[in-house]
Chain A
């Protein structure tokens, strides 16, 4: 007979979110925990992000991705927090039973609380449907990054990049350093979807042009990619006939966005937010299924890992309280937004607890003001010289200013 293991907290995913949550829980006295990780090693996506720029907020120094991850792995190991690697979670039930495939067969775990920390995955060409052939030589940026940085496999010599996401730009620089020729980056939006500093240090530094309002409209080649056709797009993002230009290349890298990885969450009955593509959570990072919590890229896509660690630690504080008290305060107030804001985390609050409000703006805005109010009463205002969709905005909200009967309204005003 299979034995069912019982734990206080099971953490799905051993990336920065899962590790930070585990360490914090342990330090709060919740030691009966386990991390389940699909890969051979913990660390998550950071293991392949070898460039520097991580940890400035957290450690006041600039580290590479693997170094940042290692700090948290070391903290988990010092505390002897058990993690089971090479183990893929297949199912989570609404009553928090977990089924996972490991080298030793199927694992069954019953947890009092489950933390979803599965990270995100990349959008693929299918999701954005470019017409044309399907030759080899088309990669998503993250896959190209893992080939080059983990497995020593170069992807190609003449490269075109579609999408100005941060990973695409970082790969433009990486490929250039490895001797490839990156011809250009094309972005369908009229603005870059990645951080300005990456436009500067990954593209401008290496004279790689960035064409805004452009997209790939055809893919050429039968077996191996031979080229791409690029067109300008109008304000409705429709290709403008007559603007087609052919680029000869053997590699096309797609950096067209990330989406939270939520197959397991859906199976557990968790309600997702169509805007963030992650779970709907309250100020405790609890989903609408009691005892199931989420943080990190599985909840909403982050640009900075420092914020992932902090979010996971706040989650762990709430999970520790949940384990100790058996329940958390009900959150029945909604966080509502105007059309300038794509989504917020959390989406629900009680009005009785301080929390960190995360959000993104829909399009670039200059000299704008984020206004947070309740029943017409302004709770907080913050001015921004510039606000970009690429940069997550986080504003702490103080419980003392809140009431517990009216929804919270968030708007961005220019």
Chain B
């Protein structure tokens, strides 16, 4: 079966075509660089995504600090990951790179702060 999708690994957004049979990728075309091929194989066998959201901050100059994951996690875990992150409260100050959850849902990836928030 021919599957068509856009590579999201860089802003170029190449249109990929992948020939797939029973979950196995036979051929990839349309990619400008090797990362596109890797992405196509990943996307068909086990799609992964990174997410960005925020956690609540007490005593900060802003009520929220933005966070992201250190790397992509299985797409199917995104909404469960959001539920876990929603439970978090941090106390200001926090700084870019601070870890707020380690090994999120056993994925091996952590949730890190992406915006420094000073105390008020």
Tell me whether B7 and A197 are in contact (CB under 8 A).
yes
- Please tell me the size bucket of the interface on B: 20 to 34
Please name all residues of chain B whose beta carbon is closer than 8 Å to the beta carbon of A197 when the two chains form the complex. 6-8, 11, 13
Interface residue A201 (Cβ < 8 Å from any Cβ of B)? yes
What residue of chain A has the Cβ atom nearest to residue B81's Cβ? A177
Asked if B114 and A67 make an inter-chain contact with CB atoms under 8 angstroms apart, the answer reads yes
Tell me the count of chain A residues lying within 8 A, CB to CB, of chain B.
Answer: 32
A50/B63 in contact, CB under 8 A: no
Per-position 1/0 for B1-45, Cβ under 8 A of A: 000011110110101000000000000000000000000000000
Q: Say whether A200 contacts B13, CB under 8 Å.
A: yes
Contact B8 A150 (CB under 8 A): no
Residue contact A177 to B56, C-beta cutoff 8 Å: no
Q: A67 — which chain B residues lie within 8 A by C-beta? A: 96, 114-115
Are A200 and B8 within 8 A (Cβ)? yes
Interface residues of A in 173-218 (CB under 8 A from B): 174, 177-178, 195-197, 199-201, 204-205
User: Is A196 within 8 A of B15, CB to CB?
Assistant: yes
Interchain nearest-CB distance for B120 vs A (Å): 11
Q: Which residue of A lies closest to B57 (CB)?
A: A152
Alpha-carbon gap, A205 to B96, bound state (A): 28
Distance (whole angstroms) from the CB of B67 to the closest CB of chain A: 8
Known contacts A151-B64, A200-B8; A70/B96 CB under 8 A: yes
CB proximity of B10 to chain A, nearest CB, Å: 6
Give A contacts to B, CB under 8 Å.
Answer: 40, 47, 50-53, 56, 62-64, 66-67, 70, 149-152, 174, 177-178, 195-197, 199-201, 204-205, 303-304, 386, 391
Residues of chain B touching chain A, judged by Cβ–Cβ distance below 8 Å, are: 5-8, 10-11, 13, 15, 49-54, 56, 61-64, 66-68, 75, 78-79, 82, 96, 114-116
